[in-house]
Structure 1
Amino acid sequence: MHTRKRLLHALAALAVTVPVTAAITPAPASAVGPALLPVTVTNNTGRGDAVYLYVLGINLSTNRLGYVNRSGAFTPWPAGQIPPSPAPDVAIGGPGNGGSTTVQFPRGFSGRVYFSLGEKLKFFLTPDGLVQPAPWAAGDPNQNILFDWSEFTYNDAGLWLNSSQVDMFAVPHAVSVTGANSVTRRTGALVDNGRNTVINSIRAQSGWAGSVYTRSDGTVLRVLAPGKAAGAGLLSANYLDSYIASAWNAYTGRTLTVVPFADQPNTKYYGRTSGTVMNFTNTAGQRVASFNRPSSASVWGCAGDLPAPNDLVVGPISRTLCAALNRGTLGTIDIQPSLNAADFYRSNPTNQYARIIHANMADGKAYAFPFDDVGNFESLVHDGDPRSAAIILTPFGAGGASLISN
Structure 2
Amino acid sequence: MAGMARNLKAILLQNNTSSSSSSSSVWAYITGLDINRNNAVFVLQSDGATGYYPDSPAKTLSPLARDCHIQIGGPGTSRAVTIPQLAGGRIWFCRGAQLRFQLNPGPALVEPSVTNASDPNYALSWAFAEFTFNAAQVFANISYVDFVSLPISLALASEDADTPRQMVPGLPASGLDAVCAELAAQHDRDGAGWNKLIVRTPPSDGSEFLRALSPNSAMVMDSTLFSSYYQPYVDAVWAKYALTKQPPLTIDTQNAEWGTAQGQTTTTSPPSPSPPPKSLLTFTLHGGSSTPSPSPSPISFPQPSTADIFSCSTGAFAQQPAAPIRNNIAARLAAAFNRSTLLINPDQPAAEKVVTYYASHPITNHYARVVHAASLPDGKGYAFPYDDVAPDNDASNNVAGTVADARPRVLVVAEPIKGGR
Mapped partners of 1:286, 1:340: distance in 2:
31
CA shift for structure 1 position 113: 0.8
Partner of 2:215: 226
* Maintained 8 Å contact 1:174/1:393: yes
CA contact (8 A) 1:73 1:106 kept: no
User: Within 1, Cα distance between the matches of 2:338 and 2:168?
Assistant: 21
User: Secondary structure of 1:94's match?
Assistant: strand
1:58 to 12, 33, 44: 33
* % identical equivalent positions: 28
Query: 3-state DSSP class of the match of 1:152?
Result: strand
Q: 1:194 aligns with which of 152, 155, 175?
A: 175
> Per-residue displacement from partner, 1:53-94 (whole Å, max 9, x unpaired)?
111110113111121234433322221345432334421112
- 2:271 maps to none
Does residue 119 of structure 1 match 2:97? Answer: yes
Q: Where does residue 395 of structure 2 map in the other structure?
A: none
Match of 1:184 in 2: 165
Decide which of 384, 387, 396 is 2:406's aligned counterpart: 384
Q: Please, which moves more after superposition, 224-233 or 249-258?
A: 249-258
Call closer, same or farther: CA 1:80–1:301 in 2, change over 3 Å.
farther
Question: Residue type of the partner of 1:235?
Answer: L
| Closer, same or farther: CA 256–81 of 1 in aligned 2, 3 Å | farther
Q: Say whether residues 1:68 and 2:44 are aligned partners.
A: yes
Which residue of 1 is the match for residue 386 of structure 2?
371
- 1:205-259, Cα deviation, whole Å (9 max, x unpaired): 1121111101135331100001111221283232222222322332223411000
The 10-residue stretch of structure 1 (380-389 or 91-100) with the greater mean CA deviation from structure 2: 91-100
| Residues 325-334 or 82-91, more deviating | 82-91
- Alignment equivalent of 1:349, drawn from 363, 369, 379: 363
Counterpart CA distance in 1 for 2:340 and 2:196 is: 22
Whether the 8 Å CA contact 1:109–1:154 is kept in 2: the answer is yes
Match of 2:260 among 259, 264, 268: 268
Q: Which runs of 4+ in 1 moved over 4 A?
A: 309-312, 400-404
Counterpart residue identity of residue 215, structure 1: T
Residue 312 of structure 1 and its aligned partner are, at CA, apart by 4.2
State the distance in 1 between where 2:370 and 2:348 align.
Answer: 22
Structure 1 residues 287 and 331 mapped into 2: Cα distance closer, same or farther (>3 Å)?
farther
Equivalent in the alignment of 2:197: 211
Tell me, in whole angstroms, the C-alpha distance in 1 between the residues paired with 2:266 and 2:59.
Answer: 46
Structure 1 window deviating more from structure 2 (347-356 vs 310-319): it is 310-319
Q: Does 1:247 align with 2:207?
A: no
Residues 1:358 and 2:372 aligned together = yes
Cα distance in 2 for residues equivalent to 1:197 and 1:318: 32
- Cα distance, 1:109 vs structure 2: 4.6
Mapping of residues 30-109 of structure 1, within 5 Å: 31-34=4-7, 37-46=9-18, 47=21, 48-61=23-36, 62-69=38-45, 70-88=47-65, 89-109=67-87
One-letter amino acid of the structure 2 residue matched with residue 219 of structure 1: E
Structure 1 gaps, min length 5: 1-26, 395-399
TM-score (norm 2): 0.81
Relative to 1, partners in 2 of residues 1:347 and 1:193: Cα closer, same or farther, differing over 3 Å?
same
Report the TM-score when normalising by structure 1.
0.84
How far has the Cα of 1:180 moved from its partner? 0.8
Whichever residue aligns with residue 143 of structure 2, its letter is S
Q: CA deviation at 1:204?
A: 1.6
One of 274, 278, 283 as aligned partner of 1:280: 283
Gap regions ≥5 residues in structure 2: 188-192, 268-278, 391-397
Cα drift, residue 286 of structure 1 = 4.6
Deviations along 1:12-70, one digit per CA (max 9) or x if unpaired, are: xxxxxxxxxxxxxxx626x3342x53111111222243211111110113111121234
Measured against aligned partners, the alpha-carbon deviations of 1:138-165 in whole angstroms (never above 9, x if no partner) come to 3222110000001111111111011100
- Out of 328, 335, 353, the residue aligned to residue 347 of structure 2 is 335
Residues 41 and 95, structure 1, Cα contact 8 Å, conserved in 2: no
Q: Aligned pair count?
A: 370
Q: Counterpart amino acid of 1:271? A: G
Aligned equivalents of 2:114, 2:50: Cα separation in 1: 29
Letter in structure 1 aligned against 2:250: T
- The residue that corresponds to 1:9 in the other structure is none
Amino acid across the alignment from 1:393: E
Change (3 A) 1:107 1:72: farther
Relative to structure 1, the CA distance from residue 402 to residue 94 in structure 2 (aligned partners, 3 Å threshold; closer, same or farther) is closer
Shift of 1:99: 1.3
- Is 2:187 the counterpart of 1:175? no
Instruction: Check whether the contact 2:40–2:53 (CA below 8 A) recurs between aligned residues.
Output: yes
Q: Is contact 2:345–2:352 with CA below 8 Å preserved after alignment?
A: no
Deviation at 1:168, TM superposition (A): 0.1
- Alignment partners' CA distance in 2, 1:59 and 1:303: 26
Amino acid across the alignment from 1:321: L
> 3-state SS of the aligned residue for 1:365?
coil
AA of the residue aligned to 2:337: L
SS at match of 1:105: coil
